[in-house]
Amino acid sequence: MMMSSDDIKDGVKNHQESLAKFAQGQEIEKNSKITGTPYLMSHHSGKENEKTTETVEKAKTRIKKQTPHKRPLTKREAEIVRLISGGLRNKDVAKTLGISVKTVETHRVNIMNKLALQNLAQLIRYAVQNGLIQIELEK
């Protein structure tokens, strides 16, 4: 049985959605297979198998990055939160600390994961609530 390209795309999309639900602790449908990659791959050619595997691995990586860790920030991470929350770009943080931009980006991803934050606004709120930065109100 040959599957159409649309069938394959739908299967991969459903698989990714199931993985995302599973990672967020949500219930998934009984017929959904988190380990369904072999099923999806059994109906394609070699190139499609590689693409499916790559897509599933990317989804797993995103899920891993989204899974929060309940650990305190290191001194370096707290310093990076303070600088980012103070308005510095990654490039400026790197220059200030004498590290590479890639290292700042890695710290930033780790910080967002540890704190289960989704965006910069949440990071700034965390910094204010935990005394990493002070906001001066204009009078």
Position 122, amino acid: Q
How many whole angstroms separate alpha carbon 98 and alpha carbon 27?
45
How many whole angstroms separate alpha carbon 101 and alpha carbon 90?
6
pLDDT (tens digit per residue) in 5-24: 677 767 766 666 766 666 55
Domains of the chain: 5-66 (no CATH), 75-129 (1.10.10.10)
pLDDT at 26 over 80: no
pLDDT of residue 137: 81
| Full-model pTM | 0.49
- For the record, the structure tokens of 139 come out as 């009078």
